[in-house]
Structure 1
Amino acid sequence: MKNLFVFVFALMCSFSASSQILKPVKWSYAAKKTSKTEAVLYLKATIEDGWHLYSQNMADGGPVKTAFSFSPSKAYKLIGKTIEPKAVTKFEKSFDMNVSYFANSVVFQQKIKLTTPKALVKGTVEFMVCNDQQCLPPETVEFSIPVK
């Protein structure tokens, strides 16, 4: 009976270890005023080794692109689109196409025009990450960035 208990306990521990939720991307945010009426938002993804996050600028038919959505506000207006640095582009057999992605870390930037002295910029980022063995389902994360 004691051996059965030890076996069941070991089995439960192995299931619990294998069912851990993978979170290979951590997001951080900042804002910097460039004048009294303009600011730049910085949205940084820190990506664990071996994983990659996909660019906003890819053809349809592949992995889910990174996409930012900003909540409307009377305190600010977006200036242009969210920009990103140059991504790595290569052919991936699993998608049968060229894909553009980032490894380690990437900082996206969004310019805004302030209509009030301070603003709280809220929104979401949708993204997908893959490594050599698997892709995780797309994830949506909310953000809130104070601009002072």
Structure 2
Amino acid sequence: MKKAILILTLMFFSAVGAFAQLENPVSWSYKATKISKTEAIVYLKATIEDDWHIYSQNIKPGGPNKTVFTFTPSKDFSLVGKPKEPKPITKFEKSFKMDVLYFENEVIFQQKVKLNKGTTVVKGQVEFMVCNDKQCLPPSEVTFSIPVK
């Protein structure tokens, strides 16, 4: 019995240690700016560590996972179009055998919203994949909550 407890304890601490070593080379920040009484722009900024990159929203099938924004529906606002992004870097990646579109260092995505109420909170999630020249990490999902005042 003591051996089983010891083995389980060792497995637990090994798993905790493995999770502590997971890399997280992308951090996200958010803000919103009203452009009129009834419209605002939500900014979603990814800050990317050196030698890493995230992919555009416009990746063709068969390649890496593209960046995807999902906004939680609300009666307080509606989306105007799709999220916009700056011009990405285009490069042929051997591992995917295709040209891919990606961003390094930092990228700011923008989503215009029509306000049905003076103040609101835009909520949702972003799913993205991050790679460097040696490896790709599994896709990550981050939730956000952006006040619009």
What secondary structure does 1:99 align onto? strand
Which of structure 1's runs of 4+ aligned residues deviate more than 6 A? none
Partner of 1:34: 35
Partner of 1:85: 86
User: Per-residue displacement from partner, 1:43-90 (whole Å, max 9, x unpaired)?
Assistant: 000000000000001111000000000000000000000000000001
Residue 23 of structure 1 pairs with residue 13 of structure 2: no
TM-score, scaled relative to structure 2: 0.87
What secondary structure does 1:36 align onto? coil
Residue 66 of structure 1 pairs with residue 78 of structure 2: no
Residue 134 of structure 1 pairs with residue 135 of structure 2: yes
Give 1:21 deviation, angstroms: 1.2
Contact 2:59 2:65 in 1 (8 A): no
TM-score, scaled relative to structure 1: 0.88
Give 1:19 deviation, angstroms: 6.0
What secondary structure does 1:30 align onto? strand
Identity of aligned residues (%): 64
User: Per-residue displacement from partner, 1:76-132 (whole Å, max 9, x unpaired)?
Assistant: 000000000000001000000000000000000000000000011000000000001
- Aligned partners of 2:18, 2:78: CA distance in 1, in Å? 46
Residue 47 of structure 1 pairs with residue 54 of structure 2: no
Gaps of 5+ in 2: 1-12
- Aligned partners of 1:102, 1:137: CA distance in 2, in Å? 17
Are the structure 2 counterparts of residues 17 and 58 from structure 1 closer, same or farther at C-alpha, using a change threshold of 3 Å?
closer
**Aligned AA (1:22):** E
- Aligned partners of 2:30, 2:94: CA distance in 1, in Å? 33
How many residues were matched structurally? 136
Are the structure 2 counterparts of residues 52 and 115 from structure 1 closer, same or farther at C-alpha, using a change threshold of 3 Å?
same
**Aligned AA (1:131):** N
